[in-house]
């Protein structure tokens, strides 16, 4: 199954500007890029990155295939968990959603609206020092003990509601064109 992203998400993955991605699409260098609904670009991901054709002239591109911080990462705060257990206090937020080093939301419950991946990497911890975290490009809803609900924006081109607006036939044609 293919995953598709928009120009902003592709730019984040490639560590270039969204305008540059649109130029590459116009030049026909991003493989499988298609326009849907007459105005929205969808770009297929191959092994987590868009495929870009090389040029005949000019400097070599410097796309980065490393783990990019554009993904939402969900962290668990061990200190808050220990404090809650020790003091019998359940009011401290123990989970946070971050994109890179920026903290987007904190809470005690998180609902992920799409695919995600649990990562355990003790030999190469996350930038914050965590060895276990969850990565996702999907929208996440964060629930707080104060009754506050925050929605961390999606990095995908489609949210669940948008997926049903596009006819199934169009999606199947898109997949056939890409493969």
pTM comes to 0.48
- The region that residue 60 occupies, defined by phi over 0 for left and psi between -120 and 50 for alpha, beta otherwise, is beta
Transcribe 95-125 into DSSP letters: EEEEETTEEEEEESEEEE-S-EEEEE-SSS-
How far apart (Å, rounded) are the C-alpha atoms in residues 138 and 158? Answer: 9
Residue 100: the pLDDT is 72
pLDDT tens column, 91-105: 788 888 887 777 888
Q: pLDDT grade, residue 21 (50/70/90)?
A: very high
Q: Which residue has the higher pLDDT, 130 or 166?
A: 130
User: Within a 13 Å sphere around the CA of 4, how many CA atoms are in the beta-carbon half?
Assistant: 21
Residue 129: the pLDDT is 79
Q: What is the mean pLDDT of residues 112-126?
A: 86
How far apart (Å, rounded) are the C-alpha atoms in residues 151 and 114? Answer: 13
How far apart (Å, rounded) are the C-alpha atoms in residues 1 and 115? Answer: 12
- 3-state DSSP helix/strand/coil percent for the chain, to nearest 5? 25, 30, 45
How far apart (Å, rounded) are the C-alpha atoms in residues 77 and 92? Answer: 10
pLDDT tens column, 74-89: 888 888 888 888 887 6
Q: Determine the number of helices (DSSP H) and then strands (DSSP E) in the chain.
A: 5, 11
Closest CA to 72 of 39, 14, 114, 109: 114
């Amino acid at each position: 199954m293919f995953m598709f992203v928009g120009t902003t998400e592709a730019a984040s993955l490639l560590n270039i500007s969204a305008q540059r991605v649109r130029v590459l699409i116009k030049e026909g260098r991003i493989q499988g890029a298609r326009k849907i609904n007459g105005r929205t670009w969808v770009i297929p991901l191959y092994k987590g990155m868009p495929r870009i054709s090389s040029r005949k002239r000019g400097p070599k591109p410097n796309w980065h295939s490393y783990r990019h911080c554009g993904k939402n990462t969900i962290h668990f705060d061990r200190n808050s968990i220990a404090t809650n257990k020790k003091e019998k206090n359940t009011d401290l937020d123990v989970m946070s959603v971050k994109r890179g080093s920026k903290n987007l939301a904190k809470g005690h419950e998180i609902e992920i609206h799409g695919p995600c991946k649990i990562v355990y990497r003790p030999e190469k911890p996350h930038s914050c020092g965590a060895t276990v975290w969850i990565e996702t490009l999907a929208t996440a809803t964060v629930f707080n003990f104060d009754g506050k609900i925050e929605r961390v924006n999606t990095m995908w081109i489609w949210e669940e509601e948008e997926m049903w607006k596009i006819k199934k036939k169009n999606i199947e044609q898109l997949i056939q064109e890409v493969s």
